Amino acid sequence: MAVGGTCDPAKLSCCGTATCDPQTSKCKPPCIGPGAQGCGVPEDCCAGLDCQGDICCAPLNGGCNLDDDCCGGECDPLTDMCCAGLGGSCGEDGDCCGGTCNPTRRTCGSPARIYVANASTSSVTVFDARQSGNVAPLQEISGPSTGLDVATSAIPHGGELFVVNHIGGTVRVFRQCADGDVPPLRSIEGGNTGFSYPVRAFVSGAELFVTNVGAGTSVWDIAASGDVPPQRTLDLWSSYGLLVVGDALLLTRHPWSGDQDSVHALPASASGSPEPLWTLVGEDTQLHQAGGLAVVGGELFVSNDASNAVTVYDYPPDLDAAPNAAPRRVIQGEQTGLNGPIDPAVFGDEIFVANRNNDTITVHGARDEGNVPPGRILGGDATRIHGPMGIFVE
């Protein structure tokens, strides 16, 4: 039957590529695909498409190949789905191109980024937090002009990126969007800084906290520059992992520090040798060469380099059970892909782990437990991830 003729929806009764409209029992032209002209109403378009003007297009979360296939917004190359870009209208996080949907303004924010400090290549590599596999970084800070020397921590804050240099004994500060062989905006370096193999950094408010393997934890104004002493120092020697949560400064120590594996919570505003707020230490904690820390949703995540595990505790811990409190769960086993896990970062419902022994970032569900495979892995020659020692996601 020709276009416009009566047809039976249950039979192939229309000519050529025409289809039988089940509502009118009339033959109609084949549907119009995304990005193509010729529609008058949405029904002229293929299933799931809308008609804007005379062009069929895919709505948010509809399939696409090109930006022109979408009813506004962009075609996300990672998902092949239409999404709203930065500042675009949204109803939920899934509407945005990797960003988050502001619940008040109903607009999309910036996509999350992974910042990786690579000790083996003295570089910082930056990725979209949704990426996986052997993909090139969006940014790479590397080269002689950077002044990087065994980078072990890269922390973004306020449009700047604070990078700790373990061997160089410095903190270099770059523009957060820096890329290539570029000089830092400023540096904290020199004999007055007291740096002794600095390893981790964290920014809280207007203060920069830095742990030192050969000294205590130093605290700086975030605008500090040059050969200047810290504002104050905490004396707990040779701490490694570092995190500020509210009024608490969390520090990890391990046998390299001449002490047992442990997590210490100190008053974040203190100096000298304050009494700890609480401590995790003992065989039941399952801490084995404790490294980095992350806190989210009432849980404390600790990476354990020697046991290839991430241990998860109540946060704050039950003081009746501390200091020798057992973890509530453990991510560990061959299938996890953890291999020298040195630093974790939790974002949304995922935990990102830097694995220094196999040059990967493994991404797990934040509620994972046991010997379960990661949801995805970032690694390979194209990623330029080599000896990752620090990770931050925002």
Q: What is the pLDDT of residue 11?
A: 61
DSSP-assigned states of every residue in 260-312: -SEEEEEETT--BSPPPSEEEESGGGT-SSEEEEEEETTEEEEEETTTTEEEE
Domain with CATH 2.130.10.10 in the chain: 113-393
Q: Which among 388, 282, 263 has a CA at the least distance from the CA of 338?
A: 388
pLDDT at 3 over 50: no
**SS3 helix, strand, coil % of the chain, rounded to 5?**
5, 40, 50
- Say how far apart CA 168 and CA 122 lie, in whole Å: 10
- Say how far apart CA 316 and CA 360 lie, in whole Å: 30
- Say how far apart CA 241 and CA 200 lie, in whole Å: 6
Q: What is the pLDDT of residue 348?
A: 85
Residue 339 C-alpha from the chain's centroid: 19
Q: What is the pTM of this model?
A: 0.81
304 CB-near residues (< 8 Å, 6+ apart): 261, 286, 287, 288, 289, 290, 291, 310, 311, 341
pLDDT at 202 over 90: yes
Q: Which residues of 146-177 are buried (b: 16+ CB within 10 A; e: fewer)?
A: bbbebbbbbbbbeebbbbbbbebbbbbbbebe
- Say how far apart CA 350 and CA 131 lie, in whole Å: 13
pLDDT in tens, 133-174: 999 999 999 999 999 999 999 999 999 999 999 999 999 999
109-123, 170-184, 241-255: range with highest mean pLDDT: 170-184
Q: What is the pLDDT of residue 2?
A: 47
In three-state secondary structure terms, 386 is coil
Q: Which residues of 201-221 are buried (b: 16+ CB within 10 A; e: fewer)?
A: bbbbeebbbbbbbebbbbbbe
- Say how far apart CA 317 and CA 312 lie, in whole Å: 11
- Say how far apart CA 104 and CA 86 lie, in whole Å: 15
Length of the chain: 394
pLDDT in tens, 339-390: 999 999 999 889 999 999 999 999 999 999 999 999 999 999 999 999 999 9
CATH number for the region 113-393 comes to 2.130.10.10
